[in-house]
Amino acid sequence: MRILVLGVGNILLTDEAIGVRIVEALEQRYILPDYVEILDGGTAGMELLGDMANRDHLIIADAIVSKKSAPGTMMILRDEEVPALFTNKISPHQLGLADVLSALRFTGEFPKKLTLVGVIPESLEPHIA
């Protein structure tokens, strides 16, 4: 089994750093099994292709924009809900992730399971979070 927990986000935009902060907390607070890899993906896009390919489960932590939910609300999306949601431009750097997921599908390396753990940010203003 190969699981990747990928935190993405921009640490220069206040709450947009939530994905990065989630994986930092996981690394600091928990000892995970060898088959679980934690990765700070920052704002990288296609550079993550190799890391995300052929996973049994890919879990992405990210800030997502929603006008229907209050800041701090956590949303969990699974499998086909994730790429479909990226068409609505919910994450400030989602274009890179959408491209990577499309490339993984095209090459036949799409993860068997895909989960997005999204948190609604309060602010995306420039500021080191």
- Annotated binding-site residues for Ni(2+) read 16, 62, 93
99 Cβ contact list (under 8 Å, min separation 6): 45, 46
Tell me the C-alpha distance between 122 and 109, whole Å.
35
Binding site listing:
16, 62, 93
Tell me the C-alpha distance between 63 and 27, whole Å.
19
The answer to whether residues 125 and 13 touch, using CB atoms and an 8 Å cutoff, is: yes
DSSP classification of residue 127: B
